[in-house]
Amino acid sequence: MVDTGKKLPTSRRALASAVVRLGPRVFPLVRANRVAKGDVLGVAVIAGIQAGKRASEWIPLAHPISLDVVRVRPRLDRKTLSVVIEAEARTRAATGVEMEAMVAAAAAALALYDMVKGVDKGVRIERVMLIEKSGGRSGTWTRARSRS
């Protein structure tokens, strides 16, 4: 674990995403909120928030930090029959919140899979990644936009 004891707390923010490819059988059910297990997107949001708050329990060398906010926003993409999940974490601390945002996105995607696996086990979770971060010694970083 990195020693952050001599670092000053600063405002920090991270935005991460995950993509869940649903396919033609599941997408309309999620869109109409007609999956037998219940509110797929609602459960994904709660799972992501809950996991983001406990990221240090998922990631062995991550520091437990106090979070100001964890937001999880799923968006249906009709063109790709996917759910795009964005997760944001913010804090004022001596260490960053990239892992909190990424864990929130990953957990939301996993919960979404769990909600729909009874309909189609072929659903895929793709591209869990950091989109941007700000604050701390390294400043602001933004992922270059790609066409994939």
Predicted local distance difference test score (pLDDT) of residue 148: 46
Catalytic, 3? Answer no
Is pLDDT of 40 > 50? Answer: yes
Cα–Cα distance for residue pair 132/135, rounded to 1 Å: 11
The residue type found at 147 is R
The residue type found at 128 is V
Dihedral of alpha carbons 110, 45, 76, 25, sign: positive
Is pLDDT of 64 > 50? Answer: yes
Q: What would the mean pLDDT of 19-46 be, rounded to a whole number?
A: 97
Please write the tens of the pLDDT for every residue from 94-134. 788 999 999 999 999 999 999 999 999 999 999 999 999 99
Domain boundaries, the chain: 10-135
Domain 10-135 listed as CATH 3.50.50.60: no
Of 2-6, 25-29, 80-84, least confident by mean pLDDT is 2-6
Marked catalytic residue, from 3, 77, 114, 120 = 114
Q: What would the mean pLDDT of 132-144 be, rounded to a whole number?
A: 91
Q: What is each CA distance from 125 to 6, 63, 69, 105, in whole angstroms?
A: 38, 26, 24, 11
Q: What would the mean pLDDT of 17-39 be, rounded to a whole number?
A: 97
